[in-house]
């Protein structure tokens, strides 16, 4: 770690990625401060469903992303155990499995195609007939065309995870400053040596970690050619609650158009739209209607649940859907952004990679 400045790292961004980076740096003995313009849980973390689903989220033509998500899923149980031990906070982590359901013939054809890819890669997934699907999830709609069970998939409650990370950071003596805007880069020649905030305070560090989610691509304190190619992708999501305290499904249940993530306390997260709307975060009647309609088609019991909250957040997308984790455009800048739909899953892995980079143990070639 650097001895040349007040901090080894300044982390700009207090979402799941930024907090995981800060905790990993601190655990390795680094001096770190986190700056965020909002109060955690920030950005996409606030509205994430928390699915940990590398098998179910598999897409054609993305082998590198699959490698990352599988590695992240393997890391997750130890990460949660370490975090809960350090913080004393239950993160709401479970590996309940996921059931992907085809509601019609067209969806069945597409799901079988994806399943063949899963099988060819040796991933844990099994095609099930409708009767077997209903044995696992009795609340499913009466008529559908089969499904794929991915038993190793899981979920975590991102808000509990954030609370745990904040507690763990406090235990490490790490300061998390909210309501702070970074206004200017502090340069020593061609090297980024810190940042200046909206209050005029200068924070010098060996490394500055850009983990500002969807706002990473518009970080005005960086020169335009140094800003990563990250754009906001809007997603609307709902939280429902069962009146009897029990969610209407045991597993994550997914169709082509919606996913349902049960929480242990009877809540059900319904997500999520994908909209190219810039930085618009308005919750719309159309978005809510679409999610409720598709959830009802999959699991009719949702009609009797209480609508607790409707939210919209911004996923940080990149041109190739791969995250940007590694050295930035000039010395001293480290990127940890662009995780799109997999931010919660990839956060612990990103934190490890960034901390090792700052400690001098890893190069960009091993990151992407």
Per the listing, tokens 């590694």 go with 326
Which residues does 361 contact at the CB level (< 8 Å), separation at least 6? none
Is 60 exceeded by the pLDDT of residue 305?
A: yes
| Number of other residues whose CB lies within 10 A of the CB of residue 29 | 11
> Tens digit of pLDDT for each residue in 233-278?
999 999 999 999 999 999 999 999 999 999 989 999 999 999 999 9
Is 90 exceeded by the pLDDT of residue 166?
A: yes
Residue 237 and residue 331: Cα distance in Å, rounded?
38
Which residues does 190 contact at the CB level (< 8 Å), separation at least 6? 330, 331
> Tens digit of pLDDT for each residue in 112-138?
999 999 999 999 999 999 999 999 999
> Tens digit of pLDDT for each residue in 96-105?
999 999 999 9
Residue 4 and residue 14: Cα distance in Å, rounded?
25
CA dihedral (329, 331, 333, 334) positive or negative: positive
Domains and CATH numbers, the chain: 7-87+158-230+320-366 (3.50.50.60), 98-153+232-317 (3.30.9.10)
Query: Does the bond joining 272 to the residue before it have cis omega, within 30 degrees of 0?
Result: yes
Which residues does 157 contact at the CB level (< 8 Å), separation at least 6? 50, 91, 92, 93, 263
Residue 331 and residue 358: Cα distance in Å, rounded?
11
> Tens digit of pLDDT for each residue in 332-356?
999 999 999 999 999 999 999 999 9
pTM of the model: 0.94
């Amino acid at each position: 770690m650097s001895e040349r400045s007040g901090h080894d790292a300044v982390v700009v961004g207090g979402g799941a990625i930024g907090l995981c980076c800060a905790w990993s740096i601190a655990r390795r003995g680094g001096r770190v401060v986190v700056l965020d313009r909002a109060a955690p849980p920030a950005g996409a973390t606030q509205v994430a469903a928390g699915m940990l689903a590398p098998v179910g989220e598999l897409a054609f033509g993305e082998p590198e992303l699959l490698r990352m998500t599988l590695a992240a899923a393997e890391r997750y149980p130890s990460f949660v155990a370490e975090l809960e031990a350090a913080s004393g906070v239950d993160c709401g982590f479970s590996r309940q499995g996921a059931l992907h359901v085809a509601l019609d013939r067209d969806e069945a054809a597409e799901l079988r195609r994806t399943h063949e890819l899963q099988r060819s890669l040796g991933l844990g997934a099994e095609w099930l007939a409708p009767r077997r699907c209903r044995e696992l999830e009795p609340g499913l709609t009466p008529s559908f065309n089969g499904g794929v069970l991915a038993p190793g998939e899981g979920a975590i409650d991102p808000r509990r995870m954030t609370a745990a990370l904040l507690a763990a950071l406090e235990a490490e003596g790490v300061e998390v400053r909210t309501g702070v805007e970074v206004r200017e880069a502090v340069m020593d020649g061609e090297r980024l040596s810190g940042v200046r905030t909206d209050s005029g305070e200068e924070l010098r560090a060996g490394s500055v970690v850009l983990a500002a989610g969807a706002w990473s691509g518009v970080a005005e304190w960086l020169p335009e050619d140094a800003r990563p190619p990250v754009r906001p992708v809007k997603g609307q999501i709902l939280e429902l609650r069962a009146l009897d305290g029990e969610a209407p499904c045991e597993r994550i249940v997914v169709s082509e158009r919606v996913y349902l993530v049960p929480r242990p306390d009877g809540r059900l997260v319904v997500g999520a739209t994908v909209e190219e709307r810039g930085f618009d975060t308005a919750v719309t009647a159309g978005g809510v209607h679409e999610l409720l309609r598709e959830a009802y088609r999959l699991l009719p019991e949702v009609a009797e649940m209480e609508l607790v909250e409707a939210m919209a957040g911004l996923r940080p997308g990149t041109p190739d859907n791969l995250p940007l984790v590694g050295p930035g455009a000039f010395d001293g800048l480290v990127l940890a952004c662009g995780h799109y739909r997999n931010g919660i899953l990839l956060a612990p892995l990103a934190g490890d990679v960034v901390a090792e980079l700052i400690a001098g143990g890893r190069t960009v070639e091993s990151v992407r």
